[in-house]
């Protein structure tokens, strides 16, 4: 993913965005008009791949955006942490426990994909975005 890519996913589309980042998503043909799919299509982030009727697949236009195993591990950890936002330092420590190589690069990609966000003004605490929790 290049440095200039700005991803803007809002509302209900964040759920579908999270699913598509993990792999192609099968949807019934009549759901292609739904707002979440249309938002991602209009943004140029996903494309529709033909399949057997009545199923279509929604997949990423840019395969380099797909989540790696390390990114999935960290995001799952953030989603399941019930005590609220965590500090970036704690997230790095967890990365070490999960054996995530290059944790800062992995965390940055999660930010770039709009899957995690800062939860405070000082930008010291991180949480999973609403649709990913």
Instruction: Work out the mean pLDDT of the chain and round it to a whole number.
Output: 83
Statement: residue 77 has pLDDT above 90: no
**DSSP tag of 41:** H
| Contact criterion met (CB below 8 Å) for 25 and 15 | no
Question: Which residue bears the tokens 């019934």?
Answer: 28
Please state, for a pLDDT cut of 70, what percent of the chain lies above it.
92
Other CB atoms within a 10 A radius of the CB of residue 115 amount to 25
Tokens at residue 6, please? 């700005």
**pTM score of the predicted model:** 0.73
CATH number of this structure's domain 67-132: 1.10.10.10
Q: Which sequence spans correspond to the domains of the chain? A: 13-64, 67-132
């Amino acid at each position: 993913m290049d440095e200039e890519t700005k991803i803007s996913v809002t509302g209900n589309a964040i759920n579908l965005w999270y699913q598509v980042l993990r792999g192609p998503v099968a949807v019934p043909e009549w759901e292609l008009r739904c707002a979440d799919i249309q938002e991602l299509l209009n943004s140029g982030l996903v494309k529709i791949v033909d399949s057997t009727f009545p199923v279509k697949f929604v997949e990423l236009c840019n395969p380099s955006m797909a989540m790696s195993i390390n990114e999935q591990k960290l995001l799952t950890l953030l989603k399941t942490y019930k005590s609220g936002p965590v500090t970036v330092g704690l997230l790095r420590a967890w990365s070490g426990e999960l054996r995530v190589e290059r944790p800062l690069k992995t965390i940055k990609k999660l930010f770039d994909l709009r899957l995690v966000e800062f939860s405070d003004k000082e930008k010291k605490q991180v949480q999973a975005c609403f649709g990913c929790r």
